[in-house]
Structure 1
């Protein structure tokens, strides 16, 4: 069987095929001919066959039978054979192939070849396919070639050294000395490869990074030369001299200046020069500016330099390129906690990005908008977010409703504004409101008696106009059932102004649903906009019962809504009796008929409620006590966790949902949940934080533990049981009673973490001696940064380095460093602090820790003056294929750290 004469003939034959079957036939015949030809020892035919075989491989057909023939070509003395043989090895082999062991000797021989291009072929092949074993065998050869006088070989040897370090980190010491000499090279290619090698070494080992800090001045000199050089045709890209080398230098400076004030001071001037003189009209310049910004924000830079970096990101926001805008928003999200005021200057531009056509830009702008909300701009930001909520994609709405409500709870100028804001949210996106937000709103109304009439009126009008929003329906039904007497009697607004009563003719029979295009007259009173709405309508008891009937018969009503309505209707009958309204008896009979109609409902929960409430009508002496107004639930900060984009109100709970049922108990009350003193990071996503999942925490506000009221219901008992189950994750002993929890709450010194009313299982360890001292920042003044061991088990070591902020009293920056003697994967580090302190965490640099490598994670703790930082750490990771979960308390920082 004879194949095609050469590669050109094969390509021509394949291109002439009209169908895929024809192509397969040609390939199969040619492959068979190549196999037959391999049995002959013809060097020229072997070269020709390997060329054809590589083309067949690139088309996606099997070509593994040519691996050994490639090795024979490599052994040939002819350069053309070596070149094709090495190309075949790179394409047909990888580091997991056993045949690779046969290549080691050929590579070693060619690394010592007299022809520099043959050496280059061997180095290029090694850098692409070398395994751990091959890296150990040829490390000395690569180290020797790093000192070659030939720039072509030095450049390739540096990249081979990079491959060796990634495969076998413990061989890093072999290349430290030679890498220093590479930083002095004048050849741009060698310098680029050398800086890439040094960057990898510094990122992998902190001690190596400290060793290379003395080269900061040399790197600054290189960068200054590149910035000041005029047109250089050899290295010019878009009018900028060697932007690739500039970017590499900036990345290495970022590592050298991190946590070192002296090195940072040395590079401040050149960073300002690069940021000022780089042309931003082209993407080449933007890439350099972006790396400059990242470097400035990472090192110990001057305050003015940081502001300039954030201003550069602000200019990126007005760029027409979507990629640049996305990068700017993403970076601002990371640095907004470092200098919020500087980011605030670009607030209007950020808000404009909410209208961008690119959904990814809208998402990043939205996340950044949440971080910018504070007491001074809460009204403006909320107005913009509410405007965006009206037109936002459905996938945004759950997160938006949560964040707007939390911001209103935290920064609201007054309670009436907060109520108006949440009402607006319920009307715009009531189907995307979390149960915790709904519960918080009900608690707020219960604790604000001066606004109960106002709120009930607004909810009545809103529900009469729109029955399609689940959360609006639930909130309205619950509050109308609870405060119907206030609504019927009338009242005053919080500023003392008497409410102007207006009788409006409104027959509920003429009410239509929103999709039918008609609205209720009450909609004319602008109840959908946050702000004063003093003109209200007069409501009778029959109007309330009509509304309940309408909700029950609505096509939007689900099981949860019907449960709420039956409870509210039963409470209405009690309120009518208390007020002795003219039609009280008639309306109570109507309610009894409604309850009776559901006494045989196919849904067990609804049937049970209807029967139980119906039986109360035969016991007037019991009815008044059972259906009296609920005592206001204990108010506390809302706790939120990761905002699930697919968790509507009333959905089936999962283990990651809230601990306690917040709404919908049989009594119609609004119980609440909280965690005691737990603050967790607000990362996103991250957002994969286990503490956030367990406690549902989404902010840095401390929240207090729930205290069960006297005469608590079985539902409350089950909630306490759930609390005990969750507490068992953090403590070896759960609380035995509410009484035993009380002293723990009262004494912060006795119990660091009274999680859900529980006590910590063991006192925190005593302060430990520092194990690492970083160099002093210079003659003058800053105290040395000391590292304290926090955890050391199973080959994983965690050290914490605190740094007190000189400009922000009580703020302590903590750098956690993770090292491992063996490979550790999937590290998840969570921290909790006492309720008197607040904690923010950034994402870990990498969840996988290689042997000898160092990964980091930044934390920021706000501590009262004189208080000691106490941390409860939860560490989960995988080591040797086994999952490890551990917990440890830490109080090893000096007691005078925050004085």
Structure 2
């Protein structure tokens, strides 16, 4: 049958042969043919190993077990272990007079024993551990061979070579750990055996006992450690023994089992560790490493050394062995060495550093799994002293690495540069190299962080924009183009005038027209996505103020997109054209350079804190995964050049104009200036007039709602605009940026019955009170007025309130009434919230809040979770 199956050339032929054999076996079973029963079961086991169903003949196993002869029982037990499981009720021959049949029964029990059988048969197995007959105490060779061929090759578990009684004991203590104490003394007696088969099984039994019983672990530590050390020394120094020799090494299986048991005993125990130090050093130095058997012993020896209590010399020796493994041609050996080095670096980083060059070569290996593991290890090796040479090596390899590996390598390099950067100019240089080589693999938060760093490095603005201009000429990577466009828009005048030249720079000549050419190329390039083009439009608007001589050309470029099918570009084109054509008197103020971005705040948000839907005072809900601000394309935000990390604006004297404070200029128009009216004294924001916005209605199809909702789809940072769109601002005459698209006046809401107020949050510094109301006819919506009171003796500035809600809630925040909170309760800040509950009547409101402010120029953060909302909201 086996020859016929192996001769099949197709799967269909094999299935035909198997069907024919199964039919013959069924016929033989129906005829109750006892002479061929054992042969039929052998065929069934082979068919089962091929993956075909054999359930119809499995009960033949029990008939063979019940037979009188040893050959039939041998095949029956083997079939029992292969074809049946612990759910079957079987009769085990533990009390048979034939010692070989008892060995078969113990083998079967060790493989399919259930918890109930273990409890019932544990005394019998414990008694058999005391037998002196090796035929009971270990398997016979024929059964071992059959198990190896059928079961062990499939499971890869070589401990089945052990004696049946100990094998069965291991199964019992795994199924019923409570019985472990009954096997401690019998297992300890097995460690004194001279027969390798019995000894290796006893060691495995002791190892498993230590894992399930603290009592057994303590017993073996005190009573057996010295004996195990002596046994290992005898095995290491034993002469050639043909029976146990593999590749010139005496019984490597026994070596490995002894080392594993010593590792368990030495872990956390200084006395036991001291006892085994000498023999471990001997194993590490005497074992040959040119054969797999020797490498297996060395690996287990290294793992034992790294697990037991501290011994500096031994650990250096172990790490050097791993360093030799890294030079091995076998990929499996190198991979396990890298895994072990990742554990060793937490114990002795200095010893691992000596093999840094070899590890770095593994990053360039052709095997993908070795590359990834080596890259993780390099990341752990880097510190402030070696970051520059290692980063250079990684970036050099980035140029020639495979495309599928560039993503992982780029992410690690960016993380290394951000974490260990010694100075900003080095950080900028390395990030530009990464963006030039693999910018398309760089995540958004990485180039956002680069922009933040550039913004904070005021002495490097000219150097950076020139470096980006050069890089743009040679690379089309999307992230690089975005950073280049942003910097040219911000610092284009520094690029043209060669401001801030450093000694390390080469001279460069760039005209105003050249700078505009770069941005125009980005807009016209078909590979540029919507985010990049939107950023390019912003850059053009800024350059129109920086380069007055190019203003008309910039206007012509922008006007081309007034009829673009992409609404975002069309809207920007219309608004920016209106600013350039009609509002030149305020253009320079609008496109002033961005304020220095708060680097610490941005990095903190990157680290992640509020993974829910976070609402800030931009009057829209923004999803912030892992604390990273979701980008925005909203023209409203872009016009002001605000990022998510811009510091919250403050009002001069508490009543000054917001836009004047933000931009640092006086925007009050002259009394007779056409097209503009004097700023009203009731606090109306000039910016509201500029953007034709009054109070934003809660449910409106106006242009204002469209502009504000577009914040959710942008990929530029968004800033909290506290006080920007004050709901109390009355409507005023406006400048039309949208060429005739008027904004509808807001519709006042009609509130229904009120709910009792609650103290939502209170600390030693701050008190927050919520007042509730419901709009008529809309029970799902709740209107909340939040009132903040300062309980301390110091005033608060840069006040920002944020909130997060679960997915079944929708949260909308209006701007706060101010951002300065007087001391001692002499005033308050109010802010309106609107919450829509899609599970109204089923789930109550719940909210997490975060309140940030500055007290005595120090940042303060208050956080809390609100679960005490009135019933019915």
1:588 correspondence with 2:551 = yes
SS at match of 1:43: coil
Whether the 8 Å CA contact 1:398–1:434 is kept in 2: the answer is: no
Confirm or deny: 8 A CA contact 2:598 2:646 kept in the other structure.
Answer: no
Deviation at 1:202, TM superposition (A): 2.0
Tell me what 1:630 maps to.
594
1:165 shift after superposition: 2.4
Q: Tell me, in whole angstroms, the C-alpha distance in 1 between the residues paired with 2:439 and 2:67.
A: 76
Change in Cα spacing, 1:22 to 1:250, as seen in structure 2 (3 Å) is closer
**Cα 1:734/1:14, change in 2 over 3 Å:** closer
For the structure 1 residues 22 and 717, does the alpha-carbon distance in structure 2 shift closer, same or farther, using more than 3 Å as the test?
A: farther
Secondary structure of 1:735 counterpart: strand
Give the CA deviation at 1:725. Answer: 9.2
SS in 1 for 2:59: helix
Q: TM-score, normalised by structure 2?
A: 0.68
Change over 3 Å in CA distance of 1:568–1:268 after alignment to 2: same
Match of 1:213 among 210, 221, 226: 221
Q: Does 1:186 align with 2:194?
A: yes
Residue 601, structure 1, aligned to residue 564, structure 2: yes
CA 1:433–1:51 in 2, change beyond 3 Å: closer, same or farther? closer
Q: Report if the CA contact (8 A) 2:803-2:849 is conserved.
A: no
Going from structure 1 to structure 2, the CA distance change for 1:450 and 1:201 (only over 3 Å counts) comes to: same
Q: Cα distance, 1:538 vs. partner? A: 2.1
What is the match of residue 129 of structure 2?
146
Matches within 5 A, 1:862-881: none
SS in 2 for 1:483: helix
Q: CA deviation at 1:246?
A: 1.0
Residues 388-467 of structure 1 correspond to what in structure 2 (within 5 A)? 388-466=397-475
Residues 713 and 182 from structure 1, CA distance in 2 versus in 1: closer, same or farther, beyond 3 angstroms? farther
Aligned mates of 2:407, 2:207 — CA distance in 1: 42
2:507 alignment partner, SS class = strand
Tell me, what secondary structure is at the counterpart of 1:348? Answer: helix
Residues 567-624 of structure 1: CA deviation (Å, up to 9, x unaligned) = 1111111222xxxxxxx24x21222222222233222322232233233222223322
Residue 128 of structure 1 is matched in structure 2 by: 111
Distance 1:376 1:55, change over 3 A: closer
CA offsets 1:61-85 (integer angstroms, 9 cap, x no match)? 4332222222121111111111121
Map 1:379-390 → 2, pairs under 5 A = 379-390=388-399
Q: How does 1:279-318 map to 2 (within 5 A)?
A: 279-318=288-327
1:611 to 574, 579, 585: 574
The whole-number CA distance in structure 2 between the counterparts of 1:65 and 1:131 is 23
Contact 1:439/1:671 (8 A) holds in 2: no
Shift of 1:306: 1.0
Matched, 1:355 2:364: yes
CA distance in structure 1 between the aligned counterparts of 2:429 and 2:633, rounded to whole angstroms? 23
User: Secondary structure of the equivalent of 1:111?
Assistant: coil
Separation in structure 2 between the aligned mates of residue 325 and residue 535 of structure 1, nearest angstrom: 45
Q: RCO (CA 8 Å, sep 6+): is it higher in 1 or 2? A: 1
> Which residue is 2:208 aligned to?
200
Inter-CA distance 171–464: structure 2 relative to 1 (3 Å threshold): same
> Which piece of structure 1 moves more, 360-369 or 476-485?
360-369
Would the aligned equivalents of 1:278 and 1:289 in 2 still touch at CA under 8 Å?
yes
Contact 2:850 2:864 in 1 (8 A): no
Give the superposition deviation at 1:244.
Answer: 0.8
SS in 2 for 1:245: helix
User: Counterpart in 1 of 2:629?
Assistant: 660
Following superposition of structure 1 onto structure 2, how do residues 726-765 of structure 1 map, counting pairs within 5 Å? 734-735=848-849, 737-739=851-853, 758=863
SS at match of 1:123: helix
Q: Distance in 2 between matches of 1:247 and 1:745?
A: 60
Give distance in 1, aligned partners of 2:515 and 2:219. Answer: 78
Aligned equivalent of 1:671, options 644, 660, 665: 644
Q: Is the 8 A contact 2:624 2:630 kept in 1?
A: no
| 1:265 is the counterpart of 2:274 | yes
Distance 2:848 2:6 in 1: 75
Q: Contact conserved, 2:345 with 2:352, CA < 8 A, in 1?
A: yes
Q: Is the 8 A contact 1:663 1:669 kept in 2?
A: no
Aligned pair partner of 1:320 in 308, 329, 332? 329
- 1:498-897 matches, within 5 Å, as 532=504, 534-576=505-547, 584-585=548-549, 587-617=550-580, 618-636=582-600, 638=603, 659-661=628-630, 666-667=637-638, 668-672=641-645, 720-721=802-803, 734-735=848-849, 737-739=851-853, 758=863
Q: 1:329 maps to which residue?
A: 338
Kindly state the Cα deviation for residue 427 of structure 1 after the two structures are TM-superposed. Answer: 0.7
Select the structure of larger CA radius of gyration.
2
1:435–1:663 CA contact under 8 A, matched in 2 = no
Contact 1:439 1:672 in 2 (8 A): no
Closer/same/farther in 2, CA of residues 733 and 182 from structure 1, 3 Å limit: farther
- TM (norm. structure 1) is 0.66
Q: Distance in 1 between matches of 2:240 and 2:129?
A: 30
CA, structure 1 residues 344+725, in 2 after alignment: closer, same or farther (shift >3 Å)?
A: farther
Match of 1:5 in 2: none
The alpha-carbon deviation at position 389 of structure 1 amounts to 0.6
Structure 2 unaligned spans of 5+:
138-162, 609-621, 648-717, 727-797, 812-844, 868-873
Q: Is the 8 A contact 1:135 1:164 kept in 2?
A: yes
8 Å CA contact retained: 2:126, 2:183 = yes
Deviation at 1:383, TM superposition (A): 1.2
Secondary structure, aligned partner of 2:525: coil
Change (3 A) 1:21 1:421: closer
Residue equivalent to 1:487 = 495
Check conservation: 1:406, 1:638, Cα contact below 8 A: no
Contact 1:257 1:300 in 2 (8 A): yes
Distance 1:619 1:593 in 2: 17
Shift, 1:308, TM fit: 1.1
Q: Distance in 2 between matches of 1:385 and 1:550?
A: 32
Per the alignment, in what secondary structure is the counterpart of residue 328 of structure 2? Answer: coil
1:246 is aligned to: 255
Aligned 8 A contact 2:232 2:279 in 1:
yes
- Deviation, structure 1 residue 41: 5.0
* Partner SS, residue 632 of structure 1: coil
For 2:328 and 2:410, locate their aligned partners in 1 and report how far apart those are by CA, in whole Å: 30
Sort the Cα spacing of 1:21 and 1:565 in 2 relative to 1 into closer, same or farther, 3 A: closer
Q: Distance in 2 between matches of 1:342 and 1:365?
A: 16
Backbone CA RMSD of aligned residues: 3.5
Shift of 1:88: 2.2
* Paired residue total: 645
Q: Which residue of 2 aligns with 1:883?
A: none
Cα deviation code 1:725-771 (max 9, x no counterpart): 99x9xx997335334x9799878xxxxxx6xx525999xxxxxxxxx
In structure 1, what is the Cα distance between the partners aligned to 2:302 and 2:643? Answer: 49
Q: Give yes or no for contact 1:430–1:472 (8 Å, CA) kept in 2.
A: yes
Map of 1:237 onto structure 2? 246
| Stretch moving more, 23-32 or 176-185 | 23-32
Is the 1:659–1:673 contact (alpha carbons within 8 Å) kept by the matching residues of 2? no
169-178 or 279-288, larger mean C-alpha shift: 169-178
Change (3 A) 1:337 1:13: closer
1:65 aligns with 2:65: no
